[in-house]
A and B are shown apart, each in its own frame.
Chain A
Amino acid sequence: EADIYQTPRYLVIGTGKKITLECSQTMGHDKMYWYQQDPGMELHLIHYSYGVNSTEKGDLSSESTVSRIRTEHFPLTLESARPSHTSQYLCASSRSGTGELFFGEGSRLTVL
């Protein structure tokens, strides 16, 4: 059973609002990831982190930002949400970066 949690599960907000999607894991994993998925599409890597104070942009350009101040916490922030940000955001973690990747339940964001 994976111990990785995302909040909120669902969020509907208006254009221009600032939002933060929370992700926490209790497994002590160094590697953490954010993926974005639109319905029927693949999971696109938008951010990843190798450890505390380490963050990298993924393969898909994103206007979101991330931080990694603590091992267990990897929040994603959108400073000014737009309808094009409507998507499902999936947080994941891995101990080694080459073994199993554990996912949270996801955060479904809708920007009106």
Chain B
Amino acid sequence: DQQVKQNSPSLSVQEGRISILNCDYTNSMFDYFLWYKKYPAEGPTFLISISSIKDKNEDGRFTVFLNKSAKHLSLHIVPSQPGDSAVYFCAASLGTSGTYKYIFGTGTRLKVLA
């Protein structure tokens, strides 16, 4: 039973345009959501996060939107750059429930075309 889902395994975007990566979750107890970027043979790098009490968080080119009623979050990257090409994982945590577990989605491979 996958609690965090990324239904698009890959996405191609032209340089300078917006990249939108989506993530759905099933557990309404998740209280914190994170996005990570990963290159092969390296550890994931933290990008941006959002608490469940907010619906938007912005950091430079990266914005995360949270829609709790739809159990959906998205990561917007604008403008997209070739260096953004990587696999992006969304993750959700159950910190306040006491389990302190982070559950990851399957990832979306983003390719930014020059």
Residues of A within 8 A of B (CB): 6, 31, 33, 35, 39-45, 48, 50, 58-59, 88, 90, 92, 94, 96-106, 108
Contacts and interface: CB of A to CB of B under 8 A. Distances in A.
A98 B43 contact: no
A43 B46 contact: no
Interface of B: 2, 9, 31-32, 34, 36, 40-46, 49, 89, 91, 93-96, 100-107
Contact of B103 (A45, A104, A106): A45
A45 B102 contact: yes
A101 B103 contact: no
B98 to A, nearest CB: 9
B101 A98 contact: no
Contact of B100 (A43, A48, A90): A48
A59 B9 CA distance: 22
Given A41-B106, A43-B89, A97 B100 contact: yes
25 contacts: A6-B43, A33-B102, A35-B104, A39-B40, A42-B2, A42-B89, A42-B107, A43-B89, A43-B91, A45-B101, A45-B104, A48-B101, A59-B103, A88-B41, A90-B43, A90-B44, A92-B43, A97-B100, A98-B100, A101-B46, A101-B91, A103-B36, A103-B43, A103-B46, A105-B42
Contacts of A31: 100
Contact of B95 (A44, A58, A96, A106): A96
Nearest to A101: B102
Contacts of A45: 101-104
B44 A98 contact: no
Contacts of B95: 96-99
Given A45-B104, A48-B100, A98-B32, 15 more contacts: A33-B102, A35-B104, A41-B107, A43-B44, A58-B101, A59-B101, A59-B103, A88-B41, A92-B102, A97-B100, A98-B94, A101-B46, A101-B93, A102-B46, A103-B44
